[in-house]
Structure 1
């Protein structure tokens, strides 16, 4: 937020669209780089304790459906993402008042925050799947960094709707604040749901069918 605010203040002669201009600056760093990486860190942390001390054996032999193990972790990612989004929105409002914005607070911001949360669930599904397969804490986080950069390239080439990490950029209006058309809304939510379901099925199937090396 501080980096984005600094960019906005020092380039105020060019960035004259008040709240929307500030969003482009703070959203670029947050939605395009830091938030996806934070999701990767959360997912790696949620699987870290199962990868040590043979805890996968304890989890998978507990009287709990294996499906619920994966879904509970994804729900926790969703909760942490929701808290993060709410905190970011609060800081954005405070920052806008701090730099002296006087125009009305844009109602579109709530839509950007919500769509960003939906996209975070799609990314969370991918990262949980990776974190369960890879025992290292750092490798899945590194993958999220690389995937984010790839997502930026796909977004620029108008292929972002078909890649989970680009959906976050689209949903949060990071690089373009133009409203999504009706079909774009349908495609966004449809692809987000597809990625969530696909990686949930894949993650649950792996827990059921593959021996865990503890």
Structure 2
């Protein structure tokens, strides 16, 4: 698996990933702080922590918009080389388990999301200090929100990876990501939001008093259940894939 992950990383070497790593989190944090300070008196109530309230806006902009689109782009990128010049035929002809190939691509996208979220955290804290956000910075609390967001991204990563493997062009998985991202903020405010993979990252990243999640047990049962179902489906469907 280590060799597979290394090869996947080499394939992405010319993709200029660093631009996506920077632009995505920068956009999410920039929009969040603009909205936060523009409506500061509305968001801040007696006893509120300014950092938590600012993070709520990061979850609002990053969760249902920037993050799902990045997942779609990352999933498409890890499959792009195989869709060019008969790459799948060459890859599947190698003495490597198909399940390992699928897991390698999945873990590569997970790593990309982890890097994105870490950069998001750095930007959030850095911009917060520059803009003079008041109060104590609850680093561990925000870090937990970030971890929850990464976990909630896993079903979406698997879904987009399955689509990207089947699609022969880069545009199809990206179009799917954008189309289903558009209604995410509306769906998030309804009971269906817990079932919708494009809203789950936002719900997971939000503080409890700001999140429309009615049952965290149900929410994380759905997330974990989706991960298991999509992972099994992805592995089985990819195992049946031929080298054509």
2:187 and 2:213 map into 1 onto residues whose CA distance is 18
CA deviations on 1:46-76 (whole Å, 9 max, x unpaired) are 0011111111011111111100111111111
Structure 2 residue 198 is the aligned partner of structure 1 residue 170: no
Give the aligned partner of residue 125 of structure 2: 93
Give the aligned partner of residue 11 of structure 1: 39
Change (3 A) 1:174 1:126: farther
2:65 and 2:209 map into 1 onto residues whose CA distance is 16
Structure 2 residue 199 is the aligned partner of structure 1 residue 189: no
Quick check: 1:28–1:175 contact (8 Å CA) kept in 2? no
Quick check: 2:93–2:243 contact (8 Å CA) kept in 1? no
Give the aligned partner of residue 202 of structure 1: 233
TM-score, with length taken from structure 2: 0.78
Secondary structure of 1:79's aligned partner: helix
Aligned to 1:125, which of 155, 158, 162?
158
RMSD of Structure 2 on Structure 1 (CA): 2.2
TM-score, with length taken from structure 1: 0.88
Give the aligned partner of residue 77 of structure 1: 109
- My pick for the range that moved more, 150-159 or 83-92, is 150-159
Count of matched residue pairs: 211
CA deviations on 1:147-174 (whole Å, 9 max, x unpaired) are 2234333321112222222211210117
Structure 2 residue 72 is the aligned partner of structure 1 residue 44: no
* Structure 2, unaligned runs of 5 or more: 1-28
Secondary structure of 1:14's aligned partner: helix
Q: CA deviation at 1:180?
A: 6.8
Change (3 A) 1:64 1:212: closer
Change (3 A) 1:141 1:174: farther
